[in-house]
Amino acid sequence: MDIKWMFLFLADNEKAKLIEKEKHIRGRVTWDVYWIYFKHFGSSILVSIFICLVCVIIFNALFNFWLSVWTSSSDGGGGVSILQYVTEAFLTYGCCHSACKLHDKMIYNLIRAPLRYETFPKASKYESKQFQPAAYYVVRKCDAHNLCSLKSGVYFRVVVFLCVVFLTNVVISPPLILFFIVYIIIYCGVYVYFIDASRIRACLLFYPWLLKLYTVFPVPGRTAETKPRFFIILFRQEEKDAYFKFLDKVDNYLLVTKFTIVTIQWVVLNLLLLSCASFLVIAFLAVLGSYRFQLSPSLVGLAIASALEMSSIISSSVISFAHLESSMTSVERVKTYIDVKTENQNGCKPPKDWPSKGNVLVENVTIKYAEHLDPVLKDVSFEILGGQKIGVCGRTGSGKSTLTMSLLRLLIQTKGRITIDGIDIETVPLQTLRSRISVVPQEPILFNGTIRENIDFDGRLADADIWDILEKVQLKDKIARLHTGLDSFISAGGSNFSLGEKQLLCLARTIVRGSTIIVLDEPTAFIDTNTSYQLQRFMKDVFHDKTVITVAHRVTTILNSDMIMVLQDGHIVEYDSPTNLLLKEGSIFASFVRESSETSTTDGV
């Protein structure tokens, strides 16, 4: 079961779907996968390996021949062994080199993949919980460890070595040629038959990204799913159900393991039987040859020794080649990541202080999440003057977050132009653009590391300044209570902080960066009203000369803005000062304000 994952982009008739399908491809690993792996060895290493292999083979053949002439000799063995070690060293180096190169390329591409690609796994039928460990495994293990284990590229030496043994035997006893042909055909048959099963074995025991995905990951996945729902399960008295569902997953895994072990034993037994039978035939033919062609006993001895060696080499190479091909599935997986189309990074470097004023001009912009999806922002135009404070509101799904993301070129812009201080953002290198605009996203993101590293990436600020900012964002007390203060560690995704606290930390980070344009996507959605009110006052003060675009959860928080933008179904339906909008008859913004005064927490606005 060799299954390769690839991403199948939707056909036109599937336009309505948000979710892209994964495609499983069966069959052999193609040659381009081998090529990409060995190409990254580097030409000098490849040439060195080739020369060493040829020398090993020639020395080996000469040594065997010399043995048959003068059996007591042991000279020459040392030379062959040293050469073999040198070959191994080159192979190991080449494998590590190739693994590192492929790994780096993969990481480079994944980091630069478009947003659509990043969100894809979550939308896939494999839940992110299952996908993430797989991806993690591919990155951490398959690329480095598994690829290195391919130093069993010794298999290639096996092929050449087989040819030498074959020729030696055929020269000594020509009838052997018929036998060898039959013999190799049988082994090829066993190999082809075994290869499918071996892929399962290899995937499960050594290269587990595939079968583990199906059978192993669901086990911890089930636990991870159950843990947060623990009280619901107790409340609904579904403990037994949860228990048996978990056992089902364990059973699946054990079933595959059992099947795997049985398969290996079956193959080993068959290969052994085949070896014994072939050795018997070779011995018989060699003895027959010695009578017919009057061969010397030492040559017959050499033929039998070589045949014995050959049958054991062929047996082990059947497993080895299967092993190699299974290993190559991880290269193939890596290749799919390397082939991912990245975002265009190039452009003309803008001046160092760009954007100095913070003017934003959006002209007839249409934005999509993917080529096959309908636009979310439709023909949107507006202008923000430097230093203005803009409040954006609208019903859930109206396109507020999409608007903020489009300023960072995170989505596909099919029409129009966005210029910041007179420079079209399409012409600015992506890295520069994203480093010059600060965003506090709707879902706040914290990185593994200390609080200090999360707030002040570049280590520009003194501790006192960081504490000052933390005090302003109302986090000083909480962080001061932690044992190690600013050096306290933030766990993966910031799980040791509440959503509101994460938003506050992101806000602190934004203040430290000091960008001219700041985008706040519902920055106080998870913060209590009192803290939110204090933050408003603080932000007004600290961002007084910056252009601030605030997507509002509570419309009351944007009442003090210079301009209010109301979005509806991807269109700007109102864009004016709050006073004008409140006075305007039938104003949507005014209705939002009325709604929010009726209920203190108006969802979706």
For ligand ADP, the closer of residues 506 and 511 by Cβ is 506
Q: What is the token pair recorded at 81? A: 């062994």
For ligand ADP, the closer of residues 535 and 605 by Cβ is 605
Residues 403-442 that bind ligand ADP (CB under 6 A): none
Q: What is the token pair recorded at 387? A: 């230093």
Judged by CB under 6 A, which stretch of 8-16, 163-171, 396-404, 494-502 contacts ligand ADP? 396-404
402, β-bridge pairs: none
In angstroms, what CA-CA distances link 26 with 96, 119, 196, 329?
28, 26, 10, 11
Site for ligand ADP contains 401 (CB under 6 A): yes
Site for ligand ADP contains 397 (CB under 6 A): yes
Q: What is the token pair recorded at 431? A: 């890295």
For ligand ADP, the closer of residues 123 and 277 by Cβ is 123
Site for Mg ion contains 454 (CB under 5 A): no
For Mg ion, the closer of residues 64 and 401 by Cβ is 401
Cβ contacts of 310 within 8 Å, gap of 6 or more: 162, 165, 166, 169
Applying CB under 5 A, what is the total number of residues that bind Mg ion? 2
Distance CA 90, CA 443 (A): 48
Q: What are phi and psi of 389, to 5 degrees?
A: -110, 120
Site for Mg ion contains 398 (CB under 5 A): no
Residues 100-159 that bind ligand ADP (CB under 6 A): 119
Applying CB under 6 A, what is the total number of residues that bind ligand ADP? 13
Site for ligand ADP contains 400 (CB under 6 A): yes
- Closest separation between CB of residue 118 and ligand ADP, Å? 9
Q: End-to-end alpha-carbon separation of the chain, Å?
A: 50
Instruction: Mark residues 331-370: x for contact with ligand ADP by CB under 6 A, - for none.
Output: --------------------------------------x-
DSSP calls for 350-411: PPTT-SSS--EEEEEEEEESSTTSPPSEEEEEEEE-TT-EEEEEESTTSSHHHHHHHTTT-S
Out of ligand ADP, Mg ion, none, what residue 369 binds, judged by CB under 5 to 8 A for its kind, is ligand ADP
Interface residue with Mg ion, options 60, 146, 401, 557 (CB under 5 A)? 401
Judged by CB under 6 A, which stretch of 186-194, 206-214, 340-348, 399-407 contacts ligand ADP? 399-407
At how many degrees (to 10) do helices 43-69 and 77-111 cross?
A: 160
State which residue has the least CB distance to Mg ion: 401
- Closest separation between CB of residue 113 and ligand ADP, Å? 14
Distance CA 28, CA 329 (A): 9
SS3 182: helix
Q: Is the dihedral of CA 483, 488, 491, 493 positive or negative?
A: positive
Q: What are phi and psi of 192, to 5 degrees?
A: -60, -40
Out of Mg ion, ligand ADP, none, what residue 278 binds, judged by CB under 5 to 8 A for its kind, is none
Out of Mg ion, ligand ADP, none, what residue 237 binds, judged by CB under 5 to 8 A for its kind, is none
Which residues contact Mg ion by CB under 5 A?
401, 442
Interface with ligand ADP by CB under 6 A: which residues? 18, 119, 369, 373, 376, 394, 396-402
